[in-house]
Amino acid sequence: MIVLGREVYVCKCSTDVPREPSASDASPNVEWTLGNRDDFAMVPLEHHEDAHFADFEERLGRGEEWLIGVMGEKIVSYTWLHARSHVSYPYLPGCKFKLGQGVGYGYDAWTHPDLRGEGLRRRGFVEELHVLRTSFGCEWEASFFVKHQLEGATRSLAKAGIRIVPLWRVRLGENRKAQFESLAPEDRSTEPMDSE
């Protein structure tokens, strides 16, 4: 479930983080695994519509990985991963980036509303970095954060040893074109694509 955003940050983080939960980790006990079509039956229907499943089908068909957190018979948290070279943030027109070698992509994270704020996304993030590193050979993950989520995410993920590095700020200009501001000019891991 991608969040609408008129100001979006492209960030990267290293996939080299300790996988063991810290002593202070008190997130609910969830099994993290890679999902497939057979797991659609465990997706809570009260929070997902037919269009979600159509998207999920397409993503699996494109070879993306679906990291799911399973509690009992239900998926309570998930995220999507791939290592293609081009990514975009669909709700900010023109927000398209090319990823460098060794940079993977994580997106569309979701946690069940009843379990939010208990650390599931943080645990899932650690697991997804492991998947990007081991399945796709990526040293970095790139992700989009909408402005209002960046600070909380940075603080939360730091507790698991994940350091979020902002690379680009993207805003919708008055001409309704994406405007890109580099926040780390030396970094070449992501480059905006010309929106012409």
Site for ligand COA, rule CB under 6 A: 1-3, 77, 107-111, 116-122, 145, 149, 152-153, 155-157
Query: Which lies closer to ligand COA via its Cβ, residue 19 or residue 188?
Result: 19
DSSP 47-94: G--HHHHHHHHHHHHTT-EEEEEEETTEEEEEEEEE--SEEE-TTSTT
Q: Which is nearer to ligand COA, 1 or 23 (CB)?
A: 1
| Smallest separation (angstroms) from ligand COA to the CB of 174 | 26
Cα–Cα nearest to 131, from 177, 79, 166: 79
CA distances from 74 to 2, 41, 65, 118, 143 (A): 21, 8, 18, 17, 26
Q: Whose CA is closest to 108, among 62, 135, 144?
A: 144
* Min CB(77)–ligand COA separation in Å: 6
Tell me the closest approach of the beta carbon of residue 192 to ligand COA, in angstroms. 19
Tell me the closest approach of the beta carbon of residue 193 to ligand COA, in angstroms. Answer: 20
> How near is the Cβ of 125 to ligand COA at its closest, in Å?
6
Q: Which residue is nearest to ligand COA (CB)?
A: 152
Would you say 162 and 17 are in contact if contact means Cβ atoms under 8 Å apart? Answer: yes
Quote the least distance from Cβ 175 to ligand COA, whole Å.
27
CA distance 120 to 179: 33
Cβ atoms 21, 27 nearer than 8 A = yes
C-beta of 158 vs 188, nearer to ligand COA: 158
Nearer to ligand COA (CB atom), residue 21 or residue 100: 21
Residue showing tokens 């996988």: 19
**Which one, 66 or 145, has the nearer CB to ligand COA?**
145
Both structure tokens of 52: 């979600």
Query: What is d(CA 37, CA 34) in angstroms, rounded to the nearest whole number?
Result: 11
Residue whose CB is less far from ligand COA, 1 or 194 = 1
